[in-house]
Structure 1
Amino acid sequence: MKNVLECSHLVRRFGERTAVDDVSLSIAPGETYGLLGPNGAGKTTTIRMVCGLLRPDAGTVHVAGLPVNTAAGPAKQLIGFVPQDVALYPDLSVRENLRFFGRLYRLPRRRLERRVDEVLHLIDLGGRARDRVDSLSGGMRRRLNIGAGLVHSPTLLVLDEPTVGVDPQSRHAILESVTRFGEEGMAVLYTTHYMEEAERLCDRVGIIDRGGLVAEGTPRELVALVAERDRVRLTAVGGLTAYADACRRLARVEGAARSGDKGDVVELVVKDARSLLPDLLDLAHALDVGIRSVEIDEPDLEAVFLHLTGTALRE
């Protein structure tokens, strides 16, 4: 089998709006593929079509050579889907939840019990197997959410923002688990708002924007797209949205976006940042924006994303 997942020319419209426009991608056995895009770019719609939860208006999806559609079928047995929202039964125990999801896939009893034990080990919850889900921490629930998608031993695992809102220890455990899945030959489709996760986990990355796949390749190949460009990070106070808009109009500025947890950062992709810095500071002064700090970094995947979409991933 050459590829586990083959998506060919997917299109999906909602009324007059085209949410996904001619998207094609593939994932090989043992490969982790990161699908990145700003909010509203088409990631969730693409994932729903991959999992057979939404019918495409055009195009096809195949998993292990089998067609995927919205009806029940053998291809869906090969897919494990882990949604962003935790989808568990809070009044059941950890083990009971895994048993329930295994039964949905009609696993024979002996195989189910063996697989539940294996998954408990994989997600490091063996010591909490008898505990109710509503007694677990948020990070533990996230790990169990992944376990529910693994219990039937899928060929393709689809993970939608699996680390949102978890503590650093649980996040590390989840990332380590995803790394092992690839090493064991499972194909993984991974979406995240954390660029460092994509750089750490993904063999290849696809960047989707306005419904279309605008770039695809290994992280190293994508970074080469912004070679000889610098990423500038300005921490500031004032009208930063207007400042970012004004920066985009400067020569040698190829992308500018407001970001940061407090919205107090403007990130730019520029050519020759050091010679451009006086113009950036003069513009800030003219717009009554106070610059608190300036950082200039070598290009990375975040810079590629900003360059291609004009926005920060978490904007």
Structure 2
Amino acid sequence: MAFVTRFAPSPTGYLHRGHAYSALTAHRAARDAGGRFLLRIEDIDATRCRPEYDAAVFEDLAWLGLDWEQPVRRQSEHLADYHAAIEALRERGLVYRCFKTRKELDIGRAPHEPAIPYIGGPLAAGEEAERLARGEAFAWRLSLAAAREALHGFEGLTFVEEGAGPHGETGVVQARPETAGDIVLARKDVGVAYNLAVVHDDALQDVTHVIRGQDLFEAAHIQRLLQALLGLPTPTYRHHGLLVGPDGKRYAKRDKAETLRELRAAGLTAEELRAELGV
């Protein structure tokens, strides 16, 4: 089987060193394997994605010296595909409407505490009909309870990790989708959620190796379940360590990490950055 990997940024900010490291790592892996490297734009969050960030992805990656196959898949152009997948799950009783707001879910949680994975279930038919009639917003959630009942071998799901998770997880890893709770698959403000769109597209694009940062390692657990429920192949995962800045914190958009645009404007060359990153 041909080696196929991808770099799949969300245009919600400008790329930084961490993105460059991940893109270069995936590109080199494809080159070393004589395989294919894809670029995919994961722009399903219409509330945060911006045209200027989208355009900058192509500019920054070209500056780094990367090339990729055409055409580039843009998730916002294929929302019907993802909704069809949700409908297939709905017909099997694997998803339910959840009317709880983020504020309701956060009641009693201190700001510094991590969110507790939500486990719920469908409302009684009468109450659901009343809330729908009032036009109340809802999210489609995947029911772990229904998935466990419907999927033979739920407890034995595994995936192969060629890199390492944040705690050294490697080799054949036992999938633990329960750690994510009943995840949201779609909601009104951002449409389809990341986990569903990514497993759909990885299968559609014949991705054999998912190469990405360790911050996404936990997502592999619930993605493995979605692959099983939708009858999709499971790629090999290769998570890599995260770059950290002088302050010891990983580079992140929300922390306003120095962007590739800023580095370029300051006179840094792509060759110098690649040497600094070691890829």
**TM class, shorter-length:** under 0.3
Bigger relative contact order (CA 8 A; separation at least 6): 2
Q: Which has the higher strand share?
A: 1
TM-score normalised by structure 1 residue count = 0.23
Pair member with larger Rg: 1
